[in-house]
Amino acid sequence: MKNKYRNIFLGFGIIAVVIMLFTFDMSYEELWSSLKRAGYYLPLVLLLWLFIYLINTLSWYIIIRSGGERGGLTFTRLYKFTVSGFALNYVTPVGLMGGEPYRIMELTPYIGVERATSSVILYVMMHIFSHFCFWLSSVLLYLCLYPVGWVMGTILGTITVFCLLVAMLFVKGYQHGMAVAFVRLGSHLPFLKKKVIRFADSHREQLENIDKQIALLHQQKKGAFYAALFLEYTARVVSCLEIWLILNVLTRSVSFADCCLIAAFSSLLANLLFFLPMQLGGREGGFALAVGGLSLSGAYGVYAALITRVREMVWIVIGLALMKVGNKK
């Protein structure tokens, strides 16, 4: 990627971080007091995400390796792209507006634009699909642990139907590819219609090749497909340790299973508000509702959301800094 494009991504990220710091819904004295209360659990939470990003990178690495030669791309460099890509996703509305274009542009010098695009699309599909698998398994976990009344039954049933419908769409996308479908969807947007149609006409062969590469992984390389999906699902489960560590600051009565449920239902609500940078407000509301649903104090949810937000900010800064380190000339 040319440095000027990298600097554009970096500049956008820095501006977004500054805005978020100035709009933090808490005084700096209260924030500092909360961080001191976390004690050694805070660095443990930060280190946990170093490991989670390793799992994410391994999933993406398997997808890229299944497509052929890596053109000198190392796992370490891919880890850098992973952390920076997630940092850009955190600070942009609609999540995928910053991180995925950045990843494609960084990968292109190594494996070409078609493979870079197909690998990123595949990884994003795996990442999102793993969330739906996690939400579905959390519904089953709730049914095993807690009695279900008609209100909760209705909520869980709605979540299950929603997740199954989306899962069916993803399976279809894996079988036939999604690049052409995304472009067709974009052609219906009022202000982008003409540009998208021109793009589709001039890049039809490339888009079809990208879809073929996506379908190839599902049809002929099922081992790589399920390994990548399993790793992404594992990352979802491991991330629940973050909530367990944070809540251990306040109470010892929360089990890891409860933390999985809190993570699942708070992330579900937060992802429904995907159009907000860093899912501002959605994450806090999701935590408060999730812990309340397990008959825990709402203050636990507020505190967990705060420490999670601080962790995100730290890793955003790390990801933005990594964009300027060790780049291919």
Q: How far apart are CA 85 and CA 99, in angstroms?
A: 4
Does residue 54 surpass a pLDDT of 90?
yes
Give pLDDT, residue 93: 63
Does residue 101 surpass a pLDDT of 80?
yes
Top-confidence residue, 245 or 114? 245
Give pLDDT, residue 240: 95
Give the confidence band of 1 by pLDDT, cuts at 50, 70, 90: low
Per-residue pLDDT averaged across 111-123, rounded? Answer: 86
Q: Is residue 130 part of a domain?
A: yes
Does residue 299 surpass a pLDDT of 50?
yes
Q: Is residue 328 part of a domain?
A: no
Top-confidence residue, 83 or 177? 83
Q: Is residue 47 part of a domain?
A: yes
Q: Is residue 99 part of a domain?
A: yes
Domain containing 304 equals 3-322
Q: How far apart are CA 264 and CA 240, in angstroms?
A: 9
Which has the minimum average pLDDT: 10-19, 222-231, 255-264? 10-19
Total number of domains constituting the chain: 1
Does residue 118 surpass a pLDDT of 50?
yes
Q: Is residue 327 part of a domain?
A: no
Q: Is residue 201 part of a domain?
A: yes
Give the confidence band of 235 by pLDDT, cuts at 50, 70, 90: very high
Give pLDDT, residue 274: 55
Q: Confirm if 22 and 291 have CB atoms less than 8 A apart.
A: no
Q: How far apart are CA 301 and CA 293, in angstroms?
A: 11
Residue 272: count of CB within 10 angstroms of its CB: 11
Q: How confident is the model over 188-202, as pLDDT tens digits?
A: 555 555 665 666 666
Give pLDDT, residue 275: 47
H/E stretch holding 26 reads none
Give pLDDT, residue 156: 92
Q: Is residue 232 part of a domain?
A: yes
Top-confidence residue, 312 or 289? 312
Give pLDDT, residue 193: 59
Per-residue pLDDT averaged across 119-148, rounded? Answer: 91
pTM to 2 decimals? 0.86
Q: How confident is the model over 57-82, as pLDDT tens digits?
A: 999 999 998 877 777 899 999 999 99
Give pLDDT, residue 220: 64
Top-confidence residue, 224 or 97? 224
Degrees, nearest 5: CA angle 143-148-149: 160
Q: How far apart are CA 208 and CA 180, in angstroms?
A: 7
Task: Determine the residue type at 279.
Answer: Q
Q: Is residue 58 part of a domain?
A: yes
Q: How far apart are CA 117 and CA 179, in angstroms?
A: 9
